[in-house]
Structure formats: structure tokens, C-alpha cells
A and B are shown apart, each in its own frame.
Chain A
Amino acid sequence: MALIELSGIERVFTLGDSAVHALANLDLSIEAGEYVAVMGASGSGKSTLLNLLGLLDRPDAGIYRLEGRDVTTLTADEQARVRRERIGFVFQSFHLVPRLTAAENVALPLMLAGIEPAERTRRVGKALEDFGLTNRADHRPDQLSGGQRQRVAIARATIMQPAVLLADEPTGNLDRATGEEVVRLLEMLNATGVTLIMVTHDAALGSHARRRIVMQDGRKISDD
């Protein structure tokens, strides 16, 4: 059984009186533990695909099975629970809460899941240690470098031990050296068994992945 199975997915946006097919009749199957790069020009539908995989958006037609379960028919709150437990997000602009410290940002998913404070502190402490952020635990995002911010974001995305890690241009706001460091970190996590799906338009970054999906006008034009 594939971890992710999309069949006949359609996503149509209406802009004025014209309909834009962001995703058209898309079939896709991703196994657990894969490392997939989704590539394509802007407007090719790669971000829409990522939002859909992350249950942030619903398809207009088609079926999405995550771990064998049809998740397109779930209510908004049920989808929220699936996101919380099975999916981790890494964004281009980090998306840290500016008034919270690094440790508090990492603890957010645990807090939302209602895990008790003692357990939270233990898990956050371990995560910060794994990502080399222990001495930055009490710093707010504006006191951190770009690389440190993205590491905090990755620690937050993985703290619930999700099945899938969705990364949207994770190196887009970083310089080359820091970007490579972040990619190495994501690949290390993939090596421990987390499925990694990364959206990028950077061919060099895409070449790291074991599988590359190229999108154009809402369609998959190559998959190898």
C-alpha cells in the first residue's frame, strides 16, 4: 500500500470569468520513505499540489488516500487532526511565531495536540539538542540567523514524528551554504524513514532527490 495515492485529482480556480486548471487529472503514488522533488515553473501547479497533499486545500474532483484512508471526505477538524499527527510542514519563509521563543515555537504542535507540559519539555529539549539549537532555546526568531530559523521550523515540523514532511522551497530564503546545510538536515531525516516531498524550482537541489516530478500547466510531464 502506497503512503500517498492520488487519482484523478482536479483543482480549478476561477479568476474573473476564466477557469484555471491548477491541477488537471493528476494521478500520483508515493511510497513511504521516498524522497521526491516536485519541480516546475511558477504557476505550474506545484504549490497547489503541496497544499493538497498537506490537506490545506481540497480537490474539486478525485480521491486522495493517505495511508490507505480517503482523506478528501473528512471534515475540516478531522483534517486538522491528520495534519497534526501525520504531516509536517517546512515553509520558505520559516513561519515562526515572532513573539514566541525557539523552544515555544517547536512546542506548538505538542501544545495543539494537548500533550502535557512535562512530556512537552522533554521532547522539545531532545529536538533542540538533535538540531544543535540547545543554546538558542530562549531566543526569539528575530534573534536567530536564517539557518537557525529554518532549523527551528524543521524541529517543529518533525516533533510529532509525522509520516510525511512537506517542504515548500525550504532554501528559498537562505544563502547557498546555509541552504545546503538545511537540505542535508532534511535528507538525514529522510534517511531515518520520513517521507520527504520538496517543492523547488532549483534544478541543483532537485537533482539530490531520488525521484523528480516535473509539473507544467497542472499536469505531470515527467516522473523519474
Chain B
Amino acid sequence: MTPLDTLRFATRAATGYPLRTFLMVLAMSIGVAAVVVLTALGDGARRYVINEFSSLGSSLVIVLPGRSETGGFNPVNAVTSTPRDLTVEDAQALVRAPAVLRTAPLTVGTSEAVYNGKLRDVTIVGTTPDYLKLRRMDLAQGRFLPAEEPNAAVAVIGAKIQSELFGIESAIGKVLRIGDRRVRVIGVLASTGQGLGMNADEVVILPVAVSLAMFNSNTLFRILVEAKERALIEPAKTQVEAILKTRHDGELDVTVITQDSVLATFDRILGTLTYGVAGIAAISLAVAGILVMNVMLVAVTQRTGEIGLLKALGAEGAAIRNAFLAEAALLSAAGAVTGYLLGQAGAFALRTAIKVLPAYPPDWAVAAALGTALVTGLLFGVMPANRAARLDPVQALMKH
């Protein structure tokens, strides 16, 4: 029996029992589709986070109060104890480092903003004029925080605050009440979307001194430092550490992280997560493989008479084994291809539903899913095929 004939015979057998074949292909395709969609989700999340960090600016060094002993960054030591305050003066001192272009202190808090009876929760960011350039932000209207008056009661608001509190009316020059203070709006940020867990459209930016006074605090949340160029990130980090150590009585009580280390950590965490969900989804592929075996065992029983006939007509054991193996392979292949298409459709639906999530399945996951489907299908097809090939022709012929 030539390979082409074996394939054609197996195809006729597969199409000869349409319901069984449909169910089998469905089971296998769900397994493959699950791997494709779940890895698309995991990898999409990974890419999303990386993009978010990239939008911070490419040569950023971040200073956190408190010391974490590990070299890398993880979400746990983002919350650190603060033995000594990180101050606005520290931020100013860092500009003297040769590798540093500019710095911006950062405080973050939440409060209520009220205008004309309308009330809204907002994120309050306290910083200095350099923040605008450092974060590569643009203004839609007005101007940013004035350099000459660091204690002025002025505010720059996000695009969404403008539209929700002021509507089509211009916010410039209006007085906004934040907590128990009144500030004059001098600028509106251009709409940017998400950035580092903080929606820049929903912030109110105040001069850092005003913000510290408002929250009755002395310590900064972060100091953002921009190196002169990307290659100077490591020198900038060393210099920042040296300056702060001197200013803090010789003790290095801050943590300096670079964007690369943060990125690498998130990349690792989310990459592992993707492998994890791929593994879970792969279980359904193994189940589908066992289903192939079951279906093929039933097929052998169902077609015992036919196997006997083929033997009587002079089919060798190998010919019968190959025919059943080819049928198992065909079922798995059809399931794999259908599952791949379903999975891609699912990933497309995800991307359509959640616009910011780049949910593309990684190539390795697609290859692994298709490969696993075919291999399990064939592997689990071997036992039924061997059983068919070993059937006693006299016994088999009697079952018709």
C-alpha cells in the first residue's frame, strides 16, 4: 500500500464518520486554541508592561527611599522602610552629578478636587518644572509649573480632569479646591493615556512644596533622574548613590533602580506566568490525546469486520497499522489547524476588546501547541493501530 493510498484510505475513514470526526477535531482544537489564547494573554500582559515602562523615558534612574538588599527589583521591596527622609534638596543635589541631565522629585497622594460643586477623586503629584521634560509630556493649554515661584498655589491638570470638572469651559485661571486648599489652574496636560500605573490624564500636578505641605510630609515618594544618555545610566546610578550616601551621613539608605533592571524583572515574572498558563492549557492537549486513543480504540472495535476483510484481501499488518495511525494523525492535524485558527480568532477578539493589550500568541507557544497536538495524537494512536494490526483474521471476519 503506497503512502498516498494509506492517506486517502484514512481520509475516507475519517470522513465516513462525520459526527465522531467533528467531536474529535473539536476536542483537539479546544486544547490548541486554549494554549494559543492563554499564551497570547500572558505575553500580551508582558509586552504591555514593557511598553508602559518604555514610555517612562529611555534613560531613567529611579531613587526610592529605604534600602533593599537585593540587586534587582521586585514588587515587595518597592515598599521599603524609610530611616531617613528623601528630600527635595537631595533631588536638587543630584543635578550636580556629571552623568545626570535633570532630576524631578515626586510625591504621590490622593485627594478630592472640587470645582463648581463637582467633586472627583484625583491623584495628586507633587514635583518640579523639570518633570514635564523628564516624562516627555506635552501641554494642551497654558503653561507648566513656574520655576521662579516654587511655593505658588498653582496646578496643572490632566486632560480627563479638565473634561470632567470643567467640560468645554477652559480651566486656565480657574480656582480648584483640593482638600482644604485652593489652587489656580495654569495648565492642562495633553491626553496621553496610561503611564506606570498612574493615568496621566487623571492627575493634578502641584509644586512639590505645596504637595508636601498638603500631605504634611517631608519625604519624597521617588526621585526621578534622567541620565544624559542611555550609555550613562550605570555611571549616573553610581554617582547618584555616592551623592546620596554623602548627604545621608555616609549611609546608603536609598535604593537606586534603573529601568532596565525593573524591565528585566517584570519580563521574567510575566514570561514565567506565560509558561505557566501554557503548561495548564497543555493539559487539555494531553486530555485530547487520550480522547484520540479512545476514539481510535472504538474505531478498531467498530471496524473489526473491515480489518478482517482487509487481511483476507492480503493486507500486511503494517498496512493496517499505518492506515489507523494515519487516521489518528489526520484527526489531530485537523484539530490542531482548527484550534490554531480558533486561537488566533480568540486573540484577535481579545485585542479588539482590550485595545491596550497587545495579545499576540508567541511563536514558541504556537509551535509547541501544534507539535504537542500532532505528537500526542500519533502517540496515542499507536496502541489502537497495533491492536488493529494484530487482530486474528478469522475472529475479525466473524464480526460483521
Contact = CB atoms under 8 A, between A and B. Distances in A.
Contact of A76 (B16, B306, B313, B317): B317
Contact of A156 (B5, B306, B313, B397): B313
Nearest to A99: B16
A96 to B, nearest CB: 8
Interface stretch (A33-41, A80-88, A192-200): A80-88
A83 B400 contact: no
Contacts of A111: 1, 5, 9
Given A99-B13, A111-B1, A114-B1, A57 B394 contact: yes
Contacts of A93: 400
A95 B310 CA distance: 10
B314 A113 contact: yes
Given A95-B305, A97-B306, A84 B313 contact: yes
Chain B interface SS verdict (over half): helix
Interface string A49-89: 00100101100000000000000000011001111110001
Contact of B314 (A51, A99, A104, A112): A112
B394 A112 contact: no
A51 B400 CA distance: 16
Interface size class of chain B, counting residues whose CB lies under 8 Å from the partner chain: 20 to 34
B319 A51 contact: no
A206 interface: no
Contacts of A108: 310, 313
B174 interface: no
Interface of A: 51, 54, 56-57, 76-77, 80-85, 89, 91, 93, 95, 97-100, 104, 108-109, 111-114, 156, 160
Given A99-B12, A99-B16, A112-B319, A89 B313 contact: yes
Contact of B394 (A51, A98, A109): A51
A77 B316 contact: yes
Contacts of A97: 306, 309
Contacts of A114: 1-2, 5
Which residue among B1, B312, B400 has the maximum number of chain A CB atoms within 10 Å of its CB? B312
26 contacts: A54-B312, A56-B312, A56-B397, A76-B317, A80-B314, A80-B315, A80-B316, A81-B314, A83-B312, A83-B314, A85-B314, A91-B397, A95-B305, A95-B308, A99-B16, A100-B12, A104-B12, A108-B310, A109-B314, A111-B5, A112-B1, A112-B310, A112-B313, A112-B315, A112-B319, A113-B314
Nearest to A157: B313
B393 interface: yes
Given A56-B397, A77-B317, A112-B1, A95 B309 contact: yes
A95 B400 contact: yes
A141 to B, nearest CB: 12
B311 interface: yes
A91 B306 CA distance: 13
B387 to A, nearest CB: 15
A143 B45 CA distance: 58
A134 to B, nearest CB: 22
A109 B313 CA distance: 6
A160 B2 CA distance: 17
Given A81-B316, A114-B5, 17 more contacts: A54-B312, A56-B311, A57-B394, A76-B317, A80-B314, A81-B314, A83-B314, A95-B309, A95-B397, A95-B400, A97-B309, A98-B16, A100-B12, A104-B12, A111-B5, A111-B9, A112-B319
Nearest to A79: B314
B142 to A, nearest CB: 78
A77 B312 CA distance: 12
In order of increasing CB-CB distance, the 8 nearest A-B pairs are: A84-B314, A99-B16, A83-B314, A77-B316, A56-B393, A95-B309, A80-B316, A109-B313
B105 to A, nearest CB: 79
Contacts of B5: 111, 114
Interface in B114-162: none
A99 B393 CA distance: 21
Nearest to B319: A112
A201 to B, nearest CB: 17
A81 B317 CA distance: 11
B8 to A, nearest CB: 9
Contacts of B318: 77
B1 to A, nearest CB: 5
Contacts of B312: 54, 56, 83, 89, 95
Contacts of A95: 305, 308-309, 312, 397, 400
Nearest to B4: A117
A57 B314 CA distance: 13
A55 to B, nearest CB: 9
A167 to B, nearest CB: 13
A91 B313 CA distance: 12
Interface string B34-60: 000000000000000000000000000
Interface string B1-25: 1100100010011001000000000
B131 to A, nearest CB: 75
Contacts of A56: 311-312, 393-394, 397
Contacts of B317: 76-77, 80
Interface in B305-346: 305-306, 308-319
Which residue among A82, A85, A113 has the maximum number of chain B CB atoms within 10 Å of its CB? A113
A109 B394 CA distance: 18
Contacts of B313: 83-84, 89, 108-109, 112, 156
Contacts of B1: 111-112, 114
Contacts of B316: 76-77, 80-81
